[in-house]
Amino acid sequence: MTDVNEPIVSNDTVLGGRVRVFQPVTGYRAAIDPVLLAASIQAGAGEKVLDVGCGVGAAALSLAARLVDIRVWGIEVQRELVRLALQNVTANEMTGRVDLMGGDLLSPPPRLGPGGFDHVMANPPFEVAGTGNAPPDAGKAVASVEGEARLVDWVSFCQRMVRHKGSVTFIHRADRLDELLAAMRGGLGDLVMFPLWPGNSGKAAKRVLVRGRKGVAAPLRILPGLVLHGEGGAYTAEADAVLRDAGPLVF
């Protein structure tokens, strides 16, 4: 018998069909942000990556699909999304390569030891609590609006989890870039900003990837970034290479 409270789930794909993603029809749904985040991770054979706030696993699975000789872990606070994430690991035949678990970054599972990862990536809630109208769907609100864990807490947790000289990468709203950089400068250097431009029309970037390295001192760099859309709204060839052909974002 079907539970009337069980959310309706869609069966979607990312990376040109390489990764299957079961996710709620209503509430937070993975779009291109987690795919772009995963594409930005430059991990070598045998390295360990942690996805903080992994949701249904779109970023973790996309990364594992591109780099088959790494291990990926993920932590997610919403139990229903964890259930779907585990289902997605099985559906994509990545058991043993991708390990996604429930947990709160303010009180993480003991199995996540400080300094245990070569790379950490995160797609945190973009909205500051109390500054706008929260989405009516509770799941989407948790994913979209900061709760008890604020942006500085996300950065602090990621810094603790990564090893010395390892990388921490965020995708976030460009209009919160100053806050993100201020938090990252506490323990990360060699900061690199990679804007995600909506098109060639002169519009400002709404999203930005930012990467830092723990214990590395180097000046901030701003790179040209990626133009997502061309004439008519279609993806540019460069964006297509990442979003559909599973190519990397090298920076």
Domain residue ranges in the chain: 9-243
Between 7-16, 88-97, 205-214, the lowest mean confidence (pLDDT) is in: 7-16
**CA pair distance 52, 55, nearest whole angstrom:** 9
Are 57 and 100 a contacting pair, CB within 8 Å? yes
213 pairs with which residues across the strands? Answer: 167, 189
* Phi and psi angles of residue 62, each rounded to the nearest 5 degrees, phi first: -65, -40
Instruction: State how beta strands 221-222 and 207-214 pair.
Output: unpaired
4 pLDDT more than 60: no
Which stretches within 32-78 are classed as H helix? 33-39, 58-66
171 pairs with which residues across the strands? Answer: 209
Are 168 and 216 a contacting pair, CB within 8 Å? no
What pTM, to 2 d.p., does this model score?
A: 0.92
Superfamily of domain 9-243: Vaccinia Virus protein VP39 (3.40.50.150)
Q: Report the 3 state secondary structure along 151-176.
A: HHHHHHHHHHHEEEEEEEEEEEEHHH
Report residue 15 as tokens: 């990376």
Type of residue found at 215: G
* Phi and psi angles of residue 223, each rounded to the nearest 5 degrees, phi first: -100, 165
Q: Write the pLDDT tens digit of every residue in 28-68.
A: 889 999 999 999 999 999 999 999 999 999 999 999 999 99
